[in-house]
A and B are shown apart, each in its own frame.
Chain A
């Protein structure tokens, strides 16, 4: 039974694409299941990728299993809030701070969200598609 079938059996509501497995609202449970099942043990969360399609933001969680030498992507489409996964993977902290900084996504459960790259007094979220550079501190901004 390959990995995708195992996930589909346990979580019937996911949609399976060729490259990723999309879920609606069961992100934390799926990640928990993937990490803590001994046969699967996806122990490295590589990164959290955020893509801004104008109506929604898609977050992709690529995971790697050192036990099976396999890679899998879990994705979720959100508006502006999602549950944080730092309880499962500690490496998600910087990723979530970065996505909060650049996209404006709020991670519920992560109390230490801060701006990583932009100055802490910056207004706006740069990597969004509708971002207009209006900060008056920049000298070329009129």
Chain B
């Protein structure tokens, strides 16, 4: 604080420890009063070397580690890796396993969006919605614990399908029914709230061109007006009807709207899966069955539409039983990068509103 009064720039570290960065992100802000002149994200505090570890482990040894790339959407990363290995080894996945996978993926998407909603509103200052969304998320996570044994890092998908079929379909029915009504409750509390609107409308506008240029994907891109949802190209979703939620403004409010409506779409997808799964008889498979992996030489690109963006798993195999290279492309990596551009010229209060609306989770960024 030594220096002249009226010095125009102040360097503020929105340091690795901060209540609202949801992880260890360091944002180096240059402030002029309350206005941000420049923002530089500094990542790497959560780097665990997951890509290097893949080169010394079997495929089946690496599979539990894959959930940990983003612990809030573990099923998506598990699916991406399993899909890559299945394409490499030409393993056919049975139909029921596809439907179980879709149902669990969408439940995970709902859980991830609910967590995002609660913490975003906590950042803005409202303390009640967090408890309401976590109440619903608790139901989902308890169901996951019943099925897979874990609340966050599931290790349930395997090469060729799922580990077992003891999924309690009645519980899923109750959960999604409840959530469908609760989303209306959240909307009544938040969507027309004038304070919320004044804090998020026309704040952090990302134009179409900028969003594409900086590599945004997922709900962030759809909120800027680009129709891009990888579920259209995923064969698992071919028989399922769903709408893709888009908004055209590109501000924080539209990112919120896109995610809330995505929760409803996920509910409808789960209902369709339930319709199919309740009519067929699920086979009783043993837990420890793993197909024999030949691992021919090849390069595989496996994509999945995760809650935070498009996730790509690149798998390079040279015929050994450990991968030669595994590369993860995650959505939050590019959401963190665009902060440099979006945060110029905004006030300090809007920094948290923008950062929260981009839904950045640090383990995805650092891997």
- Is there any pair of Cβ atoms, one from A and one from B, under 8 angstroms apart in the complex? yes
Whether A46 pairs with B310 at a CB distance below 8 angstroms is yes
Specify the chain A residue showing the minimal Cβ separation from B228: A66
Of B46-54, B63-71, B141-149, B285-293, the one contacting chain A is B46-54
**For residue A49, which residues in chain B have a CB less than 8 angstroms away from its CB?**
314, 325, 327, 329
Measured between C-beta atoms, what is the minimum distance from B4 to chain A in Å? Answer: 30
Most A C-beta atoms less than 10 A away, residue of B52, B227, B299, B333: B299
What is the total number of residues of chain B having a CB less than 8 Å from a CB of chain A? 32
**For residue B251, which residues in chain A have a CB less than 8 angstroms away from its CB?**
none
Measured between C-beta atoms, what is the minimum distance from A44 to chain B in Å? Answer: 6
Whether B214 pairs with A91 at a CB distance below 8 angstroms is yes
Q: Which of B312-343 contact A (CB under 8 A)?
A: 312, 314, 316, 324-325, 327, 329, 333-334, 336-337, 341
**For residue A9, which residues in chain B have a CB less than 8 angstroms away from its CB?**
none
Measured between C-beta atoms, what is the minimum distance from B352 to chain A in Å? Answer: 22
**For residue A140, which residues in chain B have a CB less than 8 angstroms away from its CB?**
none
Whether, in the assembled complex, B282 has its beta carbon less than 8 Å from a beta carbon of chain A, the answer is no
Specify the chain B residue showing the minimal Cβ separation from A119: B44
Known: A51-B316, A66-B226, A127-B51. A45 touches B215 (CB 8 A): yes
Known: A62-B301, A66-B226. A47 touches B312 (CB 8 A): yes
- Expressed in whole angstroms, the Cα–Cα distance for A139 and B336 within the complex equals 32
Interface SS of chain B: helix, strand, loop or mixed? mixed
**For residue B324, which residues in chain A have a CB less than 8 angstroms away from its CB?**
51
**For residue A127, which residues in chain B have a CB less than 8 angstroms away from its CB?**
51-52
Whether, in the assembled complex, A89 has its beta carbon less than 8 Å from a beta carbon of chain B, the answer is yes
Whether B327 pairs with A44 at a CB distance below 8 angstroms is no
- Per-residue interface assignment for chain A, residues 121 to 141, with 1 indicating a CB less than 8 Å from any chain B CB and 0 otherwise: 000001100000000000000
Interface SS of chain A: helix, strand, loop or mixed? loop
Whether, in the assembled complex, B203 has its beta carbon less than 8 Å from a beta carbon of chain A, the answer is no
- Expressed in whole angstroms, the Cα–Cα distance for A121 and B212 within the complex equals 34
- Expressed in whole angstroms, the Cα–Cα distance for A60 and B213 within the complex equals 18
**For residue B214, which residues in chain A have a CB less than 8 angstroms away from its CB?**
90-91
Whether A117 pairs with B47 at a CB distance below 8 angstroms is yes
Whether, in the assembled complex, B128 has its beta carbon less than 8 Å from a beta carbon of chain A, the answer is no
- Expressed in whole angstroms, the Cα–Cα distance for A93 and B40 within the complex equals 13
- What total of A-B pairs shows CB separation below 8 Å? 69
Whether, in the assembled complex, A43 has its beta carbon less than 8 Å from a beta carbon of chain B, the answer is yes
Q: Which of A58-73 contact B (CB under 8 A)?
A: 60, 62, 64, 66, 69, 71, 73
Measured between C-beta atoms, what is the minimum distance from A71 to chain B in Å? Answer: 8
Known: A49-B314, A117-B366. A91 touches B52 (CB 8 A): no
Whether B337 pairs with A94 at a CB distance below 8 angstroms is yes
- Per-residue interface assignment for chain A, residues 1 to 42, with 1 indicating a CB less than 8 Å from any chain B CB and 0 otherwise: 000000000000000000110000000000000000000000
**For residue A43, which residues in chain B have a CB less than 8 angstroms away from its CB?**
212-213
Whether B212 pairs with A62 at a CB distance below 8 angstroms is no
**For residue B310, which residues in chain A have a CB less than 8 angstroms away from its CB?**
46
Measured between C-beta atoms, what is the minimum distance from B42 to chain A in Å? Answer: 9
- Expressed in whole angstroms, the Cα–Cα distance for A90 and B210 within the complex equals 9
Specify the chain A residue showing the minimal Cβ separation from B300: A19
Whether A118 pairs with B314 at a CB distance below 8 angstroms is no
Known: A91-B215, A93-B337, A127-B52. A118 touches B327 (CB 8 A): no
- Per-residue interface assignment for chain A, residues 94 to 128, with 1 indicating a CB less than 8 Å from any chain B CB and 0 otherwise: 10000000000000000000011111000000110
Which of B52, B217, B316 is in CB contact (< 8 Å) with A44?
B217
**For residue B212, which residues in chain A have a CB less than 8 angstroms away from its CB?**
43-44, 66
**For residue A44, which residues in chain B have a CB less than 8 angstroms away from its CB?**
212, 215, 217, 228
List 4 additional A-B contacts (Cβ < 8 Å) besides A44-B228, A91-B214, A119-B44: A44-B217, A50-B327, A94-B333, A118-B44
19 CB contacts below 8 A, A to B, read A20-B299, A46-B215, A47-B314, A49-B314, A51-B325, A62-B301, A66-B212, A66-B226, A66-B227, A69-B233, A73-B301, A90-B214, A91-B215, A91-B337, A93-B337, A117-B44, A117-B366, A127-B51, A127-B52
